[in-house]
Structures are given as structure tokens and as C-alpha cells.
Amino acid sequence: MSETTFTPRVFSGIQPTGNLHLGNYLGAMKRFVDMQNADFETVYCMVDLHAITAWQDPKDLMKSTRELCAGFIAAGIDPEKSILINQSQVPEHAQLGWIFNCVARMGWMQRMTQFKDKAGKNAQNASLGLFAYPALMAADILIYHATHVPVGEDQKQHLELTRDIATKFNHDYGVDFFPITEPVIEGAATRVMSFRDGSKKMSKSDPSDASRINMTDDADTIAKKIRKAKTDPEGLPSEAEGLEERPEARNLVNIYAALNDQSVDQVLADMGGKQFSEFKPMLAELAVSKLAPISTEMARLMDNQDEIDRILARGSQRAREITAPILRKTYDIVGMVPPVQL
Ligand code: TYM
């Protein structure tokens, strides 16, 4: 463990690929807002460099990046309180990413389950970037000396790798320079599951749109998707143990709890004994009441793209006040000759 005391600082990121969904909102964004309002400096990022590890149409990528920025603000991220950036405007992420490519070991990277899932059967044809991605993710975090990283459950292995990279760098160069970051995987909805299959996580890449709630879905679509969500014939139990072996039921209760800022036990104390025919409309109403204002605000912000672009430019200016000195110090540690005044 590191001896140095680091400023409590949060970093997290979301890929600007396609629509934001309920899993991103409950597992990540809503938690980002909570941490912004606690005692942390907070940096939130649209990770556009990560997005191109799989093919992205350039126009779509630009639109998704601005839309994600609008989503952050609509969900409650205040660009004055938090630093809001797109990754490519802060070049130190990619520069530290290269150093970490030289610290991370092939064997570590080969164990990354997300690479295996994403590359699928055709791994030979996956981009080199997709393989190296977790080292860039470590750089995203450590270029800020971030101490806490709120994410959903699926990012846990990448955060363990981030700790391994920091530890190896510190050890190899005999320094106590990078913090050993804490993953923050908390709340009732760290793994929101598909509405069609309770064993798969809700994801942007699922071909079935009915499997997820998109942040841009209208009230009718949200209600219909919840009504059609797969469940089992039993009613709701009064205690959490009653949800074991019932992944679909558990998923809907978790979502209700997270949306309503309650624990699963509190929800079941109120709802135990209800049938899904009664619970689903209540969940739909709650979801619409929380999500509709966000999607309306997102649409309003998207009408003023110049303002979004200004927010990102300002964010990168503030970010670089942190990242440039950390990169310079890293280069010094590694032995890169610094530029002199000419
Ligand atoms: P991404 O873009 O896939 O997802 C963004 C965030 O949403 C969470 N998430 C979920 N949470 C609960 N249930 C789900 N079904 C669900 N689906 C997604 C993810 O856990 C994540 O927190 N590698 C990251 C982006 C990244 C990053 C970083 C994150 C790049 N650099 C540095 C933290 C720190 C990713 O692809 O997330």
C-alpha cells in the first residue's frame, strides 16, 4: 500500500457509443452525481479514444460524444463542480497509456474477460487497441492520481489491473508515485440485467432493443418494456433471500430500489406479497418520473451544441492543469529528457 497521501479524487468514464441505457445510469452516472456532491474532486470523461477500439462512424461518434455530455449534465453533473471532458482533448491520457503499455504484461492482458467477450470468436481480427484498452483505462485514472473510481460490476477486473499497473510501476522505479485506486462498486444496481434474459447484463450491444431501457425512450416505450420484461409467476417476497434463484425478479427489485434511493430490503418491506401485474406499473411510473426529465433536458441541451463544445474545451483546460504536471513527473521518473527553454 502507498505511504503518500493523495487528494481524494474521483475519475470515471463512459464510452460514447450509441445510446445511454438504464444500466449506465444506475450503475455509473447516478453514482457520479452522488460523489460529485460528497467530499471529492470529480473528473468525468467521455472516453472517445476507447470507443474507436471497435469501428465507429466518425459523424456518429461526434454526435454520441456530445449527446453523452448532454446526458451527464442532464443527470446532474455540474460542469463547474466537476471537470467534464472528452478524453481526446486531454492528450496526457494517451501519453501515459503508452507508458502503461510498457508496464502491463501480456499475460495480464490475456486474462481480461471483457476482451474475450468483445473480440468473440474472431480475436485475430480484433484491433490491437481493443487488447491494449485496459492499459489506457488505467492511464485515464492514474493521470489524475485518482483515488476512487465509481463503476458498475463489469469493470471490476479492469480496476484490479489498474492497481497492478500502479503497483508494478511504483516497484520497478522505486517510487511511491501512483495511488492504489479504490473501486467504488456500490448501490442496488451495480449489475442491471437484460429484460429478456436475467443471466445477461443490460448492454448497448444487445440486438434486442426490448432488452434495455434507453435514456432517450419515451414514457410509453419505458412502460411497455417494463410490462414485457421477463419475470416468473410468483409474487414478490418480503425479504431479499426470497430473490435468490430468481434473477429476473431480483433485477426489477434492484432497479426499483436504485431509482428510489432505497435498499432492496426497504423495497421488499413495502412491496412483499404483490404480484408483478401490480409491481410492474409502479416500477414503470417510477422509472418514467426519474428518467423523463433527464431525456427532456438532454434534448434541450443538444439544441445548443456550441455550449456543449465550450464546456468540453473548458473541462480539458482544467483537466490539463492536473494531468500535464503528472505526465512530466512520470517522464522524469522513467528517464525522458525534458525540453529546455530555447
Ligand atoms: P461502459 O461505457 O461500457 O459503461 C459505462 C459505465 O456503466 C456501467 N455499466 C453498468 N452498470 C450496471 N449495470 C449494467 N448493465 C451496466 N452496463 C454498463 C459500467 O460498469 C461503467 O461504469 N471501460 C469503461 C469506460 C472507461 C472507464 C475508464 C471507467 C474508460 N476509462 C476509467 C472508469 C475509469 C467502459 O467501457 O464503460
Percentage of the residues of the chain whose pLDDT score is greater than 90:
95
Same domain, 35 and 93: yes
pLDDT at 338 over 90: yes
Confidence of residue 4 (pLDDT cuts 50, 70, 90): confident
pLDDT tens, position by position, 186-209: 999 999 999 999 999 999 989 999
Distance 152 CA to ligand 1 centre (A): 6
Pocket test for ligand 1, best of 64, 155, 202, 250 (most atoms within 8 A of CB): 155
Same domain, 41 and 174: yes
Same domain, 41 and 185: yes
Return the exposure string of 53-91: e unless at least 16 CB atoms fall within 10 Å of the residue's CB, then b.
bbebeeeebeebbbbbbbbbbbbbbebeebbbbbbbbbe
Percentage of the residues of the chain whose pLDDT score is greater than 70:
99
Residue 27 covered by a domain: yes
Confidence of residue 2 (pLDDT cuts 50, 70, 90): low
Integer CA distances (angstroms), 322 to 7, 23, 116, 327, in order: 12, 30, 34, 9
CATH code for the domain of 24: 3.40.50.620
At 206 the three-state DSSP class reads coil
Residue 156 covered by a domain: yes
- How many domains does the chain contain in total? 2
Same domain, 287 and 312: no
pLDDT tens, position by position, 269-312: 999 999 999 999 999 999 999 999 999 999 999 999 999 999 99
Same domain, 30 and 177: yes
Same domain, 241 and 314: no
Of 282, 283, 281, 257, nearest to 268 by C-alpha is 257
Q: Whose CA is nearest to atom 29 of ligand 1?
A: 13
274 grid coordinates: 404483490
Q: How high is the pLDDT of residue 140?
A: 98
Q: Whose CA is nearest to atom 36 of ligand 1?
A: 15
Number of residues that this document lists for the chain: 342
Q: How high is the pLDDT of residue 264?
A: 96
Confidence of residue 234 (pLDDT cuts 50, 70, 90): very high
Same domain, 309 and 166: yes
Q: How high is the pLDDT of residue 1?
A: 52
Domain assignment of residue 60, given as a range:
9-190+304-334
Rounded CA-CA distance 166/139 in Å is 10
Residues with CB under 6 A from ligand 1: 11-15, 23-24, 27-28, 47, 50, 137, 140-141, 149, 151-152, 154-155, 158, 189-192, 201-203
Same domain, 39 and 168: yes
pLDDT at 214 over 80: yes
Pocket test for ligand 1, best of 48, 92, 154 (most atoms within 8 A of CB): 154
Rounded CA-CA distance 336/332 in Å is 6
145 grid coordinates: 492520481
- 268-272, long-range: CB < 8 A, 24+ apart: 268/236, 268/237, 268/238, 268/239, 268/240, 268/242, 268/243, 269/238, 271/236, 272/236, 272/237, 272/238, 272/239
Q: How high is the pLDDT of residue 122?
A: 87
Which ligand 1 atom minimizes the distance to the CA of 146? 34
Instruction: For residue 204, indicate whether it is catalytic.
Output: yes
Instruction: For residue 59, indicate whether it is catalytic.
Output: no
Q: What residue has cell string 425478479?
A: 249
Residue 109 covered by a domain: yes
What is the pLDDT averaged over residues 167-190? 97
Rounded CA-CA distance 97/138 in Å is 7
Rounded CA-CA distance 122/269 in Å is 48
Confidence of residue 82 (pLDDT cuts 50, 70, 90): very high
- The single residue of 201, 225, 280, 290 carrying the catalytic annotation is 201
∠ CA 20-25-163, nearest 5°, is: 100
Which ligand 1 atom minimizes the distance to the CA of 202? 15
- The single residue of 63, 168, 204, 224 carrying the catalytic annotation is 204
Confidence of residue 37 (pLDDT cuts 50, 70, 90): confident
CATH code for the domain of 291: 1.10.240.10
At 91 the three-state DSSP class reads coil
Distance 43 CA to ligand 1 centre (A): 15
Of 33, 89, 84, nearest to 307 by C-alpha is 84
Pocket test for ligand 1, best of 12, 15, 24 (most atoms within 8 A of CB): 24
Rounded CA-CA distance 119/123 in Å is 5
The mean predicted confidence, pLDDT, of the chain is: 96
Q: Could you tell me what percentage of the chain is helix, strand and coil, using 3-state DSSP and rounding each to the nearest 5?
A: 60, 10, 35
Residue 196 covered by a domain: no
Q: How high is the pLDDT of residue 74?
A: 97
Distance 153 CA to ligand 1 centre (A): 8
Note whether 86 and 140 are within 8 A (CB). no
Residue 202 covered by a domain: no
Q: How high is the pLDDT of residue 19?
A: 84
Residue 203 covered by a domain: no
Q: What is the DSSP letter of 145?
A: T
Q: Whose CA is nearest to atom 34 of ligand 1?
A: 12
Same domain, 185 and 228: no
Note whether 196 and 208 are within 8 A (CB). yes
Per DSSP bridges, beta strands 148-150 and 182-184 are parallel
Same domain, 171 and 96: yes
pLDDT tens, position by position, 121-148: 889 999 999 999 999 999 999 999 999 9
Rounded CA-CA distance 339/342 in Å is 9
